[in-house]
Structure 1
């Protein structure tokens, strides 16, 4: 059996290194030293921050809008880029004609 001499004072879990114990202790204290530079999220492990950062890299290939989930990009593309209703002032496409009206009012009010 592996020796785990570094014990958590809160839950008693043992660790092989003091660094692993310190990382674990952050789960009890809500200490999140690894901060996202893009949003307010913080994490108790560097690995979790790195995983989180991947979420900021999901970008719409048509307009470069960023999303946290693939499903949100898919919905966005369907609503704003793949629809059968095209704005006559730009290249935007929408799934419903009322979306074109909303778009024109917001983006092309002076045209």
Structure 2
């Protein structure tokens, strides 16, 4: 499962994987999946458009080339290099754009992930 970041530099968008991170406590694959499912089930209730949340979910679960295509075609503006803060292009300014905040655990696996037996 690949999670990727979109950079805007000289009008050229470059996608790459996020940096490694560590969860406060070791967690299992099942626990991580439950946390992700909970986030994606509730994310649209925080504001923004459901289709942008859906696009972010698919992009976060895709390989590099597909993730880049999804983000570009959905009109998503990536603010943070690790995809934790995004906006949509519908507003004329950042103040009128919807804000989309993604926790690290939906973007990649922690370094202290426990493999289920």
After TM superposition, is the score higher than 0.5? no
TM-score by length of 1: 0.22
Greater gyration radius: 1
Higher strand residue share? 2
